[in-house]
Structure 1
Amino acid sequence: MSSSEYDTPFTRSTKRPRRTKSETQSQSVNDNEEDRLSVLPDCVLLHVLSFVNARHAVQTCILSRRWRNLWKLLPTLILHSSHFWTFKAFTKFVSALLTRRDASSAVLNLDFERLGCIEPHVLKRIVNYAISHKVRNLGISVKCDIAHIPPAIFSCKTLTSLKLSVSPRGNIYACTLFPNSLNLTALTSLHLQHFTFCASGGDSAEPFSACERLSDLVIDQCTVRDAKALCISNSTLVNLTVRSDHLKDFYKIVLSTSKLKSFRFSGIPYQQICGSDVLSIEDVDIDAEIWSNSLESPLILFSWLLELANVKSLTVSASTLQVLFLIPNLLKVKLPCLGKLKSLKVKMKPLSPIFAMALKSGRSKKEVTKLSMPLPDGIVNFLLQNSPSAEVAIVNCKR
């Protein structure tokens, strides 16, 4: 890596040009000026550096003698390949960073992202280094085989937050098989992207039951294989988020989560949601769209409303209401739910081009005009028919 790319102390020349007499005098004056930032304690400076990527944090060592070795104590490492022109420069920097860092200093937070494919030995070193240095918050986003991720990541006793996105090489739509169970006893927050859950026995997948402290779960672009249901069985889970932008096989999400209070969804509804603990959910946020004029997703979305009977706060996007409005004679239906609703928020935002095309497909000009309204006429009152006194807010949002 040339010094003209991303200059760091790992690559720049140690030779410095000789200063002129005037430059030396000017430097002497500057040295006598008060440096309010450098007099701050290490813990404060390290906290400030935790908000910048590792490359910039390392570069601070050239500021003064006070900063020379401070980066070696960083508890937060943000390592993104997008901060470098080439992957070779990135891997060289990562190797030098881990080699020269203070080995006795813990890595509490590590965020590693490689936009393309990752070499297995690089990923292995990153993960093992984080685990051996008592990492608490770990984020890994790479393209590789799941076998290249050290299995120790799924049994790390210090992890409280894990964000994991592992896509197979060469196929952006493929998903990686997820372990049947986790042994992360300290984990409170889990974000999974591009994974496939497999049945561990019977006809359902149940990967989260061993996470004894899990509070927040995000399932992002995941699906189920060789099973009819994804069973989310966890007695501590409070917040559940599901994101799905492309259709996979249809399956059920069975909730066995007695403390679950919040459910958020964005994407195409294709999963049935059921379980006795659905009734515990009080806060719901849905941003739904569809890519075809099939009634399957609108009917599934409607079934969610029927299941989420005890919701007190409901947030929906305008597109969600338009998906519902595709159901024939919807406004004539008498709702048996939403009787405890206290707040309804509608987020207005432009439709995606694909959804707009789906609304027009196979419909008359009159139907298209009716469906293209920013807010389908009568849909808000339809949701409020059992809670007429609920507060209503309509807000404009950017896409």
Structure 2
Amino acid sequence: MSNSAIQNSGVEEIDSKDRLSDLSDCLIIHILSYLDAKQAVQTSVLAPRWMNLWTGFPELTLHSTGFQTCEIFTKFVSRVLCLRDPSIPLQALDFKHARATGRLEPRLLKMIVNYANYSCQTLTHLKLAIYSRGGHQIPFPESLNLPALTSLQLENFKFCGGDKSRAEPFSTFNKLSSLLISNCTISGAIFLCISSVTLVNFTLYNKLSNFYIIELCTPSLCRFAFTGTPYQTLSWSNVSSVKHVEIYAEVIPYQKEPPLTLLKWLRLFPNIKSLTVSTTTLQVLYLIRDLSPYLLKLNLRSLGNLESLKVKMEPFSDGFRMTMCHVMLQKAKSKEEASSLQRAFTEGSEPSSPIPDEIMDLFLRSSPTAKVEFIDC
């Protein structure tokens, strides 16, 4: 290799190292905004130019992962909020307190709520996830006032009821278009009311034995998605706007019987165009057939206008197999049948097929013009 080639190679190596530094502050901030706050603060030691770049992030991610105690995490959050440049509009706030960090300090959540309210005119995306020891939910802060909010994700909160046994935690979010609720409960109420003329997407996750009614007044809702065990009853004043539904149903371990609400959900939507279900959803419906003998004879008129039916071929977990076995053992008519059934599940020969033929026939009969697609996961 000639000297000039070696020199050029060295120049290219130096240029590649300095390439990031040649970027504008705005572009670097955009790249670094994908980091959580702890990682972003650590970049301040890279060079003098980087010292205060993190303070201008329009998005703030505060996760307790990597902090040994909640006290240390609380001090870190307090410091970050104090040092962040208040002249930069905050658009997104993602706060997550993990169970391993210890008991959540009430002042920490209050600190986050106050900062969110301080940024209320610009904050459009908010994620709050709280994991407390002992499985206790934290009451959802009623003091949140976020008129610009369009996307809200909540995990492990408790919604407290008011008058007429109703909890209405989202009534002040006038621009909300996307809502995700995960493992949330209600207290002092029967109804969780979601009233919004702007809500388009609603996602519900539930891994708990929560029995309550979700009352929706959402005339613009287009998509509904669910994952978990369907214990909640859905009540809609108008569901004709819903066009896309996704259901990934499971059963809780050692549950005595599968939830019948799943069947009610499928009969609820009159005009859906696309339906996506998992193989576990089909298996849960298969378990329901003994509780509802008329199930296999039904014609689900709600699926009459269906254009697309997608089945996600998700593998069954050991926990799901165990739960299915437990439910089916309750129906065994003899000890011999129970032993045979238990042995079949242990050996993996049950369920014999990920897709129960009877349930699939029900879907095909109810939606004869739908395009069917099987998706490997």
TM-score category, normalised to shorter length: 0.7 to 0.9
Contact 1:312 1:341 in 2 (8 A): yes
Any stretches of 5+ residues in structure 1 without a counterpart? 1-28, 135-155
Structure whose residues are more often helix by fraction: 2
Q: CA deviation at 1:290?
A: 1.2
The answer to whether the aligner puts 1:392 opposite 2:372 as a matched pair is yes
Partner letter of residue 321 of structure 2? A
Q: CA deviation at 1:74?
A: 3.3
User: Match of 1:382?
Assistant: 362
Contact 2:138 2:157 in 1 (8 A): yes
- 2:133 aligned to 170, 185, 189, which one? 170
Contact 2:250 2:281 in 1 (8 A): yes
Contact 1:283 1:314 in 2 (8 A): yes
Percent identity, aligned pairs only, is 46
Distance 1:312 1:38, change over 3 A: same
Distance 1:205 1:392, change over 3 A: same
Distance 1:192 1:55, change over 3 A: closer
Query: Aligned partners of 1:224 and 1:67: how far apart in 2?
Result: 45
Deviations 1:6-54 (A, max 9, x none): xxxxxxxxxxxxxxxxxxxxxxx99x95423222211111111112233
Q: CA deviation at 1:219?
A: 1.4
Any stretches of 5+ residues in structure 2 without a counterpart? 1-9
Query: Aligned partners of 2:275 and 2:39: how far apart in 1?
Result: 42
Deviations 1:348-394 (A, max 9, x none): 11223333122222234469766442111132221121321211111
User: Match of 1:79?
Assistant: 62
User: Match of 2:190?
Assistant: 228
The answer to whether the aligner puts 1:51 opposite 2:37 as a matched pair is no
User: Match of 1:195?
Assistant: 157
Distance 1:178 1:350, change over 3 A: same
Q: CA deviation at 1:202?
A: 1.1
Q: CA deviation at 1:335?
A: 2.8
For residues 104-253 of structure 1, the aligned pairs below 5 Å read 104-115=87-98, 116=101, 117-125=103-111, 127-129=113-115, 131-132=117-118, 134=119, 156-167=120-131, 169-172=132-135, 174-178=136-140, 183-248=145-210, 250-253=211-214
Contact 1:235 1:259 in 2 (8 A): yes
User: Match of 2:285?
Assistant: 324
Query: Aligned partners of 2:44 and 2:138: how far apart in 1?
Result: 40
Q: CA deviation at 1:312?
A: 0.9
Report SS of the residue matched to 1:48: helix
Contact 2:232 2:261 in 1 (8 A): yes
Contact 1:342 1:391 in 2 (8 A): yes
Report SS of the residue matched to 2:265: helix
Contact 1:348 1:394 in 2 (8 A): yes
Contact 2:304 2:368 in 1 (8 A): no
The answer to whether the aligner puts 1:38 opposite 2:11 as a matched pair is no
Distance 1:103 1:360, change over 3 A: closer
Contact 2:240 2:270 in 1 (8 A): yes
Contact 1:180 1:200 in 2 (8 A): no
Query: Aligned partners of 2:171 and 2:354: how far apart in 1?
Result: 42
Q: CA deviation at 1:199?
A: 2.7
Query: Aligned partners of 2:55 and 2:151: how far apart in 1?
Result: 28
Query: Aligned partners of 1:371 and 1:33: how far apart in 2?
Result: 60
Report SS of the residue matched to 1:307: coil
Query: Aligned partners of 2:84 and 2:272: how far apart in 1?
Result: 50
Deviates more, 1:178-187 or 1:202-211: 178-187
Higher relative contact order (CA 8 A, sep 6+): 2
Query: Aligned partners of 1:97 and 1:182: how far apart in 2?
Result: 21
Report SS of the residue matched to 2:54: helix
Q: CA deviation at 1:315?
A: 0.3
- 1:310 aligned to 251, 271, 290, which one? 271
Partner letter of residue 337 of structure 1? S
Q: CA deviation at 1:67?
A: 3.0
Distance 1:346 1:40, change over 3 A: same
Distance 1:333 1:371, change over 3 A: farther
Distance 1:99 1:269, change over 3 A: closer
Partner letter of residue 57 of structure 1? A
TM norm structure 1: 0.75
Partner letter of residue 63 of structure 1? L
Contact 1:181 1:206 in 2 (8 A): no
Matched residue count: 342
Contact 1:182 1:211 in 2 (8 A): no
User: Match of 2:218?
Assistant: 257
TM norm structure 2: 0.79
